[in-house]
Amino acid sequence: MCLICIIVFIVIFAEPIIRLMTPGFTDAQIEYVVYLARILILGQLPFLVMGNMLSGIAQANQTFIISALAPIVYNIGIIGGTVLLAPYLWLFGPVIGVVFGAFLFFIVQVPTMYFLRFNYRPWLFNKKVLHEFVTLFIPRTLSVITTQIDLTIDLTLATLLGSGSYTIFLFCTAFCSCFLFHFVGVAFGQASLPYMSNLFKEGQLLVIKKLFVDSILQLLYVSVPLSLFFIFARTPIVRIIFGGRKFDWVGTNTTALTVSIFALSIPMHTIFYFITRSFLCSTRHQNSLCD
């Protein structure tokens, strides 16, 4: 019910929201973005929400294969729509691919409920479980909202910098987020969540403290060299990934410079995902950790 209300609200107020977010766009561009945004919200959001719920259930039960395959089929749907439909439908091709990818993202995880014998009974109400859920939900929601506000402000400012600035910023954001942050930070954080939860459940605080410090050091060991690599090899990386024929030299240098700046945040982003999962695990045992 809450999801339906959010979707209806965003669809109704899509135009003023997007107009506020993109002050550098013309009226024609805003109208086109609003039209595509409404399609994506209605076609993609429900499947992504339900799919992420199934991913959480699977990861909580230490089942990672299906939840790891889900983003792959999601991207396959996007790539398929872009490659097959974009020559005929232009931007509608990727949009259809996104919606189809979101559907695949959800449908491939449905067997998880069967394998884990998950039985959802909405009529059961447990005040203790609800309290624990809210305790975890509020700080995590604030974290996500803060991140999205920061990203929205960045994109808003990018629309004011002239032609191509928004595209360059979006490319760099997608590249760093999907490849760098998720490749190291998200994967490590998701894998550590059920293991850390079991340790907290068993009360092994000394093991947890050592694991926490060692994990951060290991993440830094991987992410710092990775950050330096993308700083110093930024230009050839941009040419290889985004294509030299589609980017002129000015666009390549601007994109490469933006990637190198984003690369500075790789270590902190990777640690952030692990610390967030550790916080979720430790919520029930904060008093014990402080002793």
pLDDT in tens, 124-143: 556 666 676 677 677 777 77
pLDDT in tens, 5-51: 878 888 888 888 888 887 878 888 888 889 999 999 888 988 998 88
Q: In this structure, are 192 and 215 located in the same domain?
A: yes
Q: In this structure, are 69 and 129 located in the same domain?
A: no
Q: In this structure, are 143 and 157 located in the same domain?
A: yes
Q: In whole angstroms, what separates CA 171 from the centre of its chain? A: 15
Last-in-domain residue among 97, 122, 147: 122
Q: In this structure, are 106 and 224 located in the same domain?
A: no
Residue 283, pLDDT above cutoff 70: no
Q: In this structure, are 68 and 145 located in the same domain?
A: no
- Report the domain count for the chain: 2
Last-in-domain residue among 68, 96, 122: 122
Q: In this structure, are 116 and 143 located in the same domain?
A: no
Tell me which residue of 65, 59, 57, 51 sits closest to 109, measured CA to CA.
51
Mean pLDDT of 165-191: 72
d(CA 288, CA 46): 39
Query: Which residues constitute the domain of residue 277?
Result: 125-285+287-291
**pLDDT value at position 102?**
93
**pLDDT value at position 179?**
61
Residue 3, pLDDT above cutoff 90: no
Is residue 121 classed as helix, strand or coil in its secondary structure? coil
Mean pLDDT of 181-205: 72
- Residue 69 C-beta-side C-alpha neighbours within 13 Å: 12
Q: In this structure, are 97 and 180 located in the same domain?
A: no
Q: In this structure, are 134 and 249 located in the same domain?
A: yes
Q: In this structure, are 143 and 118 located in the same domain?
A: no
Q: In this structure, are 180 and 214 located in the same domain?
A: yes
Q: In this structure, are 85 and 175 located in the same domain?
A: no
Amino acid identity of residue 205, one-letter, is: L
Measured CA distances, 198 to 54, 113, 207 (Å): 20, 21, 11
Tell me which residue of 220, 225, 199 sits closest to 269, measured CA to CA.
220
What is the greatest pairwise CA distance in the chain? 64
Last-in-domain residue among 122, 156, 184: 122
Q: In this structure, are 106 and 142 located in the same domain?
A: no
Return the higher-pLDDT residue of 8 and 163.
8
Q: What is the 8-class DSSP label of residue 247?
A: S
